[in-house]
Amino acid sequence: MAGFRARRRRGAPELQVHDARSATRAGSALVAADDRIRAAVDELGFAEAELGRDAIAQAVEALVAARGRLTEAFRLNRLNHDAMPGSADEVRARHLRIVDLCEAVERVLDEQTADLAERMSRARRAPEVIGAVRADLLRMRARIPYARITIDRLAARCARDALTPIEANLSEADQLLGFAEHGVGVAERRRSEGSSGHADVALEASTRSIRRAAALLDAVEAFEVEALRAEAALPALADECRRDLAVALRAPHSAEAAAAI
């Protein structure tokens, strides 16, 4: 027992050092989290000015939740500095909880800050993106007459059923381009009203519509290429069939096979 007590006494200074470090870490975490929340308030102000109030609603909710966590962390810190803080184990547990809460505050706010920074970057690029979308619209519109000629050309050579995979492509592409053009108009109007967040959503929808329209028109061109490849292979296939038939005719046959030929 004496040896055990001696080991415990030798471990006491180490435990005190550990507790002191935990207390220091908890205090530093509180200061850092408090500073992070102050910075987040400023960042939200800039984001609201660029994106509008509605666009930062989620970030505001995250900030409110972060403040709640920090409030709880400060409450635990006050308990640890109370005249009767409880047992050493309780104090240690509070220090750990304080660090966890503060790290959660910084993590959530960092995620929201990164998201807002990306959205503000997109908003600043909006004029460039709008110009690119309008240029893409012009290119896609110019492709539709050629795609119609392609389908007419295919209809003259192929059975109607063969064109089923692409027969609706032109009308669908035209509808998608109409939707994209409307979306660009909405984006420009929303941006002029100061609602950059909504403008960004409209632009993204327009971009997706143009991509889908391009895929439909590409499918028409690809279908014609495959049809031409099949037509080019027909003479060679016919020659091969004739050769096979000639070989079959020259080969000896049973009486039944000869009668059939």
Copy the structure tokens of residue 27: 């205090």
Decide: 199 and 191 in contact? Cβ < 8 Å. yes
Q: What is the pLDDT of residues 178-236, one digit of tens each?
A: 999 999 999 999 888 877 777 888 889 999 999 999 999 999 999 888 877 766 555 55
Query: What is the rounded average pLDDT of the residues 70-82?
Result: 92
Please report the pLDDT score of residue 28 as a whole number.
93
Report the range out of 52-61, 125-134, 178-187, 226-235 with the highest average pLDDT: 178-187
CA distance 261 to 257: 6
- State whether 240 and 168 are in the same domain: yes
Domain of 186, in residue numbers = 126-260
Both 33 and 135 in a single domain? no
d(CA 99, CA 27): 9
- 113 and 166 co-located in one domain: no
Same domain, 81 and 196: no
In this predicted structure, the answer to whether residue 252 has a pLDDT above a threshold of 80 is: no
Identify which has the larger pLDDT, 114 or 226: 114
pLDDT value, residue 3? 47
3-state secondary structure of 168: coil
Instruction: Count the domains in the chain.
Output: 2
pTM of the model: 0.58
Contact between residue 155 and residue 163 where contact means Cβ atoms under 8 Å apart: yes
